Amino acid sequence: MAYSFKKTVDVKSDICPGVVFTIRKITEARRTDLRMSLAALLDRLTDLTTDLNALDPVKDEKAIRAKGFEIDDFVSEKIEPAKIRWAAVRVDGLMIEDVPGTLDNLSEWPAELRSELLSIIEDGSVMLVSEAKNSPRPIISGGQVAPTAQSSTAESAASPSTSTIPTETAPATSPSA
């Protein structure tokens, strides 16, 4: 019997009953595609954070606050929508003032729903619609991981190139005497 690989997975929203996200599974080629598509945006984010770090905390309090808002806006208006469009295929069951919610009107979505979808994407793990509540959560690329805490935008902005997928670490060893 041949192995059948489905390229997408449906995920029910925990926040908005009836909303279902269809998300592409992560493959190495897709991960590379994301890195390449975000490269210019991440370079700009690095420039913004470098500018922020160059400011004097005592003399430039207003400038620091303004730069922080600029960074937050950049992440929410450029980086997050790019990640969502890269991973999400569609959203079903969302109506915004009698208009279907789509990936083209992300800015109109309830903030909590957009954050939930982004967390699912950034965590790299999803609970399949057909799975029981207490089952291990499959990672989008197919392996198994334990349920993880949701990541925040601030964590993502602080380290945009790091993975939020849990990894096992080897125990520390002490040198022999």
What is the span of the domain harbouring residue 133?
A: 8-42+74-157
| pLDDT for the residue numbered 139 | 43
Number of domains in the chain: 1
Query: What's the pLDDT tens digit per position in 25-34?
Result: 877 888 888 8
- Asked whether residue 140 is assigned to any structural domain, the reply reads yes
- Asked whether residue 31 is assigned to any structural domain, the reply reads yes
Does residue 8 carry a pLDDT above 50? yes
Does residue 3 carry a pLDDT above 60? yes
- Asked whether residue 132 is assigned to any structural domain, the reply reads yes
- Asked whether residue 47 is assigned to any structural domain, the reply reads no
Phi, psi (deg, nearest 5) at residue 60 = -115, 40
- Asked whether residue 150 is assigned to any structural domain, the reply reads yes
- Asked whether residue 125 is assigned to any structural domain, the reply reads yes
Cβ atoms of residues 141 and 27 within 8 Å: yes
Query: What's the pLDDT tens digit per position in 66-104?
Result: 999 999 999 999 999 999 998 999 999 999 999 999 999
Between these two residues, 78 and 6, which has the higher pLDDT value?
Answer: 78
pLDDT band at 123 (very low <50, low <70, confident <90, very high): confident
Cβ atoms of residues 90 and 22 within 8 Å: yes
**Please, which residues have CB within 8 angstroms of residue 132's CB and are 6 or more apart in sequence?**
none
Longest CA–CA span in the chain (Å) reads 72
Instruction: Give the closest residue to 13 by CA, choosing from 123, 129, 122.
Output: 129
| pLDDT for the residue numbered 67 | 93
pLDDT band at 35 (very low <50, low <70, confident <90, very high): confident
- Asked whether residue 60 is assigned to any structural domain, the reply reads no
Query: What's the pLDDT tens digit per position in 148-172?
Result: 333 334 433 443 433 333 333 344 4
3-class DSSP assignment, residue 13: coil
Instruction: Give the closest residue to 124 by CA, choosing from 25, 48, 6, 41.
Output: 25
Mean pLDDT of 9-35: 88
- Asked whether residue 67 is assigned to any structural domain, the reply reads no
